[in-house]
A and B are shown apart, each in its own frame.
Chain A
Amino acid sequence: MGIVTPGFGLIFWTTLTFFILLYLLAKFAWKPILKAVQDREEAINSALKSAEDAKAEMASLQSNNEQLLKQAREEREAMLKEARAMRDKTIADAKGAASEEAAKVLEAARTQIHNEKMAAMTEVKNQVAQLAIDMSERILRAELKDAEAQKAMVDRALQDVKMN
């Protein structure tokens, strides 16, 4: 029975000691220790969080960059394409204009040549006609110096008309 019967003195002292201990420790030990631990945990958590944030930001920046790069590349591509198109168009235009011009020039040249030719032909015709007239005048003068010859001539001509 002895050891399972609690003694009054020890109950008294244990209660007293325990509560004094609880008070002192709660105030001077647990509070600062728990606070320090909690502060540290919070600091670590916030550090982790900010690291995570920074990482996310980095990632977003990177993706932004990529986006930008892609955009730039696309723009460049578009510009190049445009330039190429422009060049092609310019060349085509130039080619068109040149050939047109050439055609025109050719046409003009041809027309001129034609005109010149026509003029030359006319000139030649005129000259030939003149020449023919001159010749015929001369011949006629020579031929028709005597009346007989004139009469023979008219006869011949009349004969020709009869034949027709």
Chain B
Amino acid sequence: MTNSRTHLTGLFLAISSTLFASNAEAKAHETLIHEEEKEAAFNPAEVIMHHIADSHGWHLFDWNEQPVSIPLPVILYTEEGLVVFSSSEFHHDAEGHHVVEAGGQRFVNIHEKIYYASEEANEHGAYASMDHETHAVSNATPWDISITKNVAALLFSALVILLLFLPAARGYKKNPGVAPSGVAGFVEPLVVFVRDDIAKNNIGPHYKRFVPMLLTMFFFIWINNMLGLVPFFPGGANVTGNIAVTMVLAFITFVVTNVNGNKHYWGHIFWMPGLPVAVKPLLAIVEFIGIFTKPFSLMIRLFANITAGHIIVLSLVSLVFIFETVWVSPASVLLTLFISVLELLVAALQAYIFTLLTALYIGAAMHEEHH
């Protein structure tokens, strides 16, 4: 009873904020340490965090208490060059117990992060040296450019996008001047929407050059968001809910915005016109920080929204296992359905907001003075 109550509390924490992540990690560490004690208990936090986070190997389901996953290539850039091996060589181990020898070097997987393995196992059986208090691993790491689950999902979504748009574009070439049909009929209003409502309205007269970028951004985010909502194999990865992905996208916005900034833009940042000289340097500092906070908020917004969505859906799915009764399932299914539909909206909305704000920032950077 107390057990389920603590789980319930944890669940509400999960629903209320993404902050849950840190809790979950602490719990994941606990499970690492006290694995034997908790073996049988279902830990929703662990499951959710496992889903939210990236991993080597794509876990599909468990069969006879054995995890079944698609092995993915682990690609490491080490001091001795590139090392490639299959993720199946870790044998589903993410606690550092199993050492893989490849390219004359030894590697361990600790929480889906690859380290150079230590010579000896520590007291938890992990081939790594860990801090006793924080459990931080102090081993060195190679540059890890593995095809992880998220990378595989990313490549898959890129394929989906190409398969969606290239045939649509070919249709235009084949029958020019005809009303769009099939995929093109679905794609065209969206393309026109991005061009007119996002690019033209917010960037201004020189919008044309940014349309391809904005279109790619919009559909990249949207398709990835949508695939993340698919609960089984080719979907379900948390690509746009990974901060590395959103960071790259936000960085592109940052670069494009500042490269295209005209002298009014920089003038407004470093020497705001129409203000007393004493205030100007102060404002310059604030505005300068603003250059970075804008893309930073883009990065965090997308990441937090998508991750929170995944956490909520998974929490609701986990209800049955938390209460350990099948009678919860109607509520669980209905709530999951409701949130999933909401997430469909969020998927499109976040793609829209990201692209819209990017266009807005570019537009502000290129705005001509009209005094």
The answer, yes or no, to whether A14 is at the interface (CB within 8 Å) is yes
Residue A110 interfacial (CB < 8 Å): no
- Complex CA gap A2/B75 in Å reads 21
How far is A7 from B145 in the complex, measured between Cα atoms in Å?
A: 9
> Given A10-B148, A14-B244, A17-B158, A25–B177 Cβ distance below 8 Å?
no
Interface residue from B143, B176, B245 paired with A10 (Cβ < 8 Å): B245
Counting chain A CB atoms within 10 Å of each CB, which of B21, B169, B188 scores highest? B169
A34-B211 contact given A2-B111, A13-B154, A25-B165, CB 8 Å threshold: yes
A residues in contact with B47, CB < 8 Å: none
Find out whether the CB atom of A18 lies under 8 angstroms from the CB atom of B161: no
| Residues A33 and B144 in contact in the complex (CB < 8 Å), given A20-B158, A21-B161, A25-B216 | no
Shortest distance from the beta carbon of B212 to any chain A beta carbon, whole Å: 4
Say yes or no for B22: interface residue by CB 8 A criterion: yes
Q: Kindly supply a per-residue 1/0 record for chain A positions 7-24, scoring 1 wherever the CB is within 8 Å of any chain B CB and 0 otherwise.
A: 111111111011011101
A147 CB to closest chain B CB (Å) equals 156
- Is B370 interfacial (CB-CB < 8 Å)? no
Report chain A residues within 8 Å CB of B184.
Answer: 33
B contact residues around A29 at 8 Å (CB): 165-166, 168-169
Q: B146: CB under 8 A from chain A?
A: yes
* Interface residues of chain A: helix, strand, loop or mixed (majority): helix
Instruction: Check B162–A24 contact: CB distance below 8 A.
Output: yes
Q: Determine the chain B residues whose CB is within 8 A of the CB of A7 once the complex forms.
A: 54, 144, 148, 242, 244
**B344-366 vs A: 1/0 string, CB under 8 Å?**
00000000000000000000000
Query: What count of chain A residues pass the 8 Å CB interface test?
Result: 36
B248 within 8 A of A: yes
B interface size (C-beta, 8 A): 54
Q: Most chain-A Cβ atoms within 10 A of its Cβ — which of B54, B154, B244?
A: B244
Instruction: Select one of B146, B247, B249, B307 contacting A9, CB under 8 A.
Output: B146
- Consensus secondary structure, chain B interface: helix
Give the Cβ gap from B107 to chain A, nearest Cβ, in Å.
Answer: 14
Within 171-204 of B, Cβ neighbours of A (below 8 Å) are at 172-173, 176-177, 184, 187-188, 191-192, 195
Q: Is B286 an interface residue (CB 8 A)?
A: no
Contact of A4 among B243, B245, B252 (CB under 8 A): B243
* Chain A residues positioned under 8 Å from B22 (CB to CB): 1
- Which residues of B have CB within 8 Å of A12? 145
Contact call B176/A9, Cβ cutoff below 8 A:
no
CB nearest neighbor in A for B52: A3
Stretch from A35-43, A115-123, A133-141 at the B interface? A35-43
CB-contacts of B146-173 with A (<8 A)? 146-148, 150-151, 154-155, 158, 161-162, 165-166, 168-170, 172-173
User: A9-B144, A25-B162 given. 7 additional CB < 8 A pairs?
Assistant: A1-B25, A8-B144, A18-B248, A18-B249, A25-B161, A33-B169, A36-B172
A: which residues have CB within 8 A of B? 1-15, 17-18, 20-22, 24-26, 28-37, 39-40, 43
